[in-house]
Amino acid sequence: MRRLFKRGERVRSKIDGKVMEVLRYLRNNLVEVMTFDLESREVRKKKVKENTLSKAA
């Protein structure tokens, strides 16, 4: 399994453009990420596929 991102790295979602932080790898292509929601001011965690992410500038 080749991991494209390291833990703690900032990545950008290709779908909605939000910047997220990588928490950990779960399975082959599944990554747990953390994002901050500005409207409700809370931290959210979700699981996304690795191929829907790109490195943030």
Percent of the chain having pLDDT more than 90? 77
Confidence at 27, pLDDT banded by 50, 70, 90:
confident
Single pTM value for the model: 0.82
| pLDDT bracket for residue 1 (50, 70, 90) | low
CB 27 within 8 A of CB 41: no
CB 22 within 8 A of CB 31: yes
Q: Average pLDDT of 3-19?
A: 92
- Tokens representing 17? 């453009």
